């Protein structure tokens, strides 16, 4: 992969090594998810004011620790991210900004919303990866590991999509356009499963 900053190459190397040894990671939040979110983020980043030294590592680290079936693991992600950033020679101010960006990307605490441009990009880039065929595949992987029925997968997924759409809209027009092209496919899949006779 090509990166704008040499430090990001270091972060990516650490991220890849982490996933080689990670045994309990949620399959919907593996290395492939981080890479797609990175690409989504770079795709929607067209503002000259973006600090890519903050954005790039934030995109790659935002979900690095996601054990299967566990919620409220943000502190584990922040701890691992801080360790990687320190090893890659980021200074304390950069680390603080990156950790803030990671902390505000998640909807686990609706009181915390991104206030920075970089945080809003990571938020949108992550949500884009949750819809469309990729989102459906991620839900199937996670559901299979958790022994969910298709009905449970579809119920959970539909609720999640509608919650994001209704309560936390995308920050950027470009993000919204990309997501809108995919959301219908996700909802159609949910409806198809939910209409099946059990």
What confidence tens digit (pLDDT) does each residue in 104-127 have?
887 655 567 889 999 999 999 999
pLDDT of residue 70: 63
155 within domain boundaries: yes
Using pLDDT thresholds of 50, 70 and 90, give the confidence band for residue 164. confident
User: Under a CB-based contact definition with an 8 Å cutoff, are residues 187 and 158 in contact?
Assistant: yes
33 within domain boundaries: yes
19 within domain boundaries: yes
1 within domain boundaries: no
pLDDT of residue 106: 73
191 within domain boundaries: yes
125 within domain boundaries: yes
User: Under a CB-based contact definition with an 8 Å cutoff, are residues 82 and 95 in contact?
Assistant: yes
54 within domain boundaries: yes
pLDDT of residue 59: 97
Domain of residue 50, CATH code: 1.10.3210.50
Number of domains in the chain: 1
Q: At what angle do helices 74-87 and 92-103 cross, to 10 degrees?
A: 150
Pinpoint the alpha helices (H) of the chain.
6-21, 31-44, 52-61, 74-87, 92-103, 117-128, 132-145, 150-167, 173-195
Q: What is the rounded distance in angstroms from the CA atom of residue 164 to the CA atom of residue 162?
A: 5
**Domain extent at residue 113:** 6-195
80 within domain boundaries: yes
What tokens were used for 79?
Answer: 């701890």
DSSP letter, residue 89: T
pLDDT, tens digit (0-9, with 9 covering 90-100), for 18-60: 999 887 777 888 899 999 999 999 999 987 789 999 999 999 9
Q: What is the rounded distance in angstroms from the CA atom of residue 45 to the CA atom of residue 43?
A: 6
User: Residues 50, 52, 55, CA angle at the centre, nearest 5°?
Assistant: 90
């Amino acid at each position: 992969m090509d990166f704008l900053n040499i430090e990001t190459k270091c972060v990516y190397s650490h991220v890849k090594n982490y996933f080689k040894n990670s045994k309990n990671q949620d399959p919907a939040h593996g290395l492939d998810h981080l890479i797609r979110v990175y690409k989504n983020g770079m795709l929607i980043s067209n503002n000259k004011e973006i600090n890519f030294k903050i954005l790039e590592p934030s995109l790659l680290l935002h979900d690095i620790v996601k054990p299967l079936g566990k919620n409220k693991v943000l502190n584990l992600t922040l701890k691992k991210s801080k360790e990687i950033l320190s090893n890659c020679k980021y200074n304390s101010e950069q680390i603080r900004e990156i950790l803030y960006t990671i902390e505000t990307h998640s909807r686990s605490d609706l009181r915390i919303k991104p206030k920075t441009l970089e945080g809003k990009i990571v938020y949108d880039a992550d949500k884009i990866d949750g819809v469309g065929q990729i989102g459906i595949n991620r839900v199937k992987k996670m559901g299979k590991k958790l022994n969910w029925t298709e009905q449970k997968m579809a119920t959970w997924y539909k609720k999640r999509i509608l919650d994001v759409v209704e309560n936390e809209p995308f920050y950027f027009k470009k993000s919204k356009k990309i997501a809108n092209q995919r959301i219908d496919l996700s909802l159609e899949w949910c409806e198809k499963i939910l209409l099946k006779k059990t």
